[in-house]
Structure 1
Amino acid sequence: MSEFIVCYDISDPKRLGRLHRFLKKCAVPLQYSVFLFSGDDRQLDRLLEKATGYIDPKADDLRAYPLPTRGFKARLGKPALPEGIQWSGLPTAW
């Protein structure tokens, strides 16, 4: 299983909201327009294929970047989850 950063820049508020709600069902929000997706390449392709229905390719930007399996991963600043809460997986929709 691989991890990917999925991020977007959407120009229309309605499309932005729809894409955000869609991605929350299958990936973990790290910031408002940045998500962590865990899955294989086939699952990522399927996610991106479905996500293209929520964007306007001429005005919006949707990207996915693979994270290295081994390597430095760090967070600075406010944590996404409250202290003492451990994240152990993604939503079960995928």
Structure 2
Amino acid sequence: MRNRYIVSYDISDPRRWRRVYRTMRGYGDPIQYSVFQCDLLPAERIMMIEALTGIIDHREDRVMLIDVGPADGRGRWSIETLGRAIKHEERIAIIV
């Protein structure tokens, strides 16, 4: 079952920030500057954490993961916005 995560990051170096941003595009949709919404299986969550661990400087940077619940349940409705709505991209699974 996929859970919805909000992933926020504070990266001090612009080069690492771009690498984190590109990595996160593979796991979810940007919803704010340095904030992504990701619907992940447990294995995908681990792969994302491993990818980010290899990029960030653990003394200077911070990545925060917030589990908001099942993507098809509570997680779908637990994010509320004011102003411009969040544009969700339709994801297509590619099996390699």
Same fold (TM over 0.5): yes
Equivalent position amino acid for 1:77 in 2: G
Moved over 6 A (4+): none
- Tell me if the contact between 1:11 and 1:60 (Cα under 8 Å) persists in the aligned partners: yes
In the superposition, relative to structure 1, how do residues 91 and 28 fare at CA in structure 2: closer, same or farther (>3 Å)?
Answer: farther
Query: In structure 1, what is the equivalent of residue 69 of structure 2?
Result: 68
1:34-67 per-position Cα deviation (integer Å, ceiling 9, x unaligned): 0011112221111111111111001000111101
How many pairs were matched up? Answer: 89
Distance 1:10 1:93, change over 3 A: farther
Distance 1:93-1:27 versus aligned 2 partners, 3 A rule: farther
Percent of matched pairs sharing the same residue: 29
> Match for residue 78 of structure 1?
84
Offset at residue 79 of structure 1 (A):
2.0
Q: Could you say which residue in structure 2 is the equivalent of 1:33? A: 34
User: Aligned partner of 1:58: which letter?
Assistant: R
Partners of 2:23 and 2:51 within 8 A in 1:
no
Structure 1 unmatched ranges of 5 or more: 82-86
The normalised TM-score by structure 2 is 0.78
Q: Does the 8 A contact of 2:12 with 2:60 survive in 1?
A: yes
1:23 counterpart = 2:29 = no
Q: Please tell me the residue identity of whatever aligns with 2:29.
A: V
Aligned 8 A contact 1:7 1:35 in 2: yes
Gaps of 5+ in 2: none
RMSD, aligned α-carbons = 2.1
8 A contact 1:5–1:37 mirrored in 2: yes
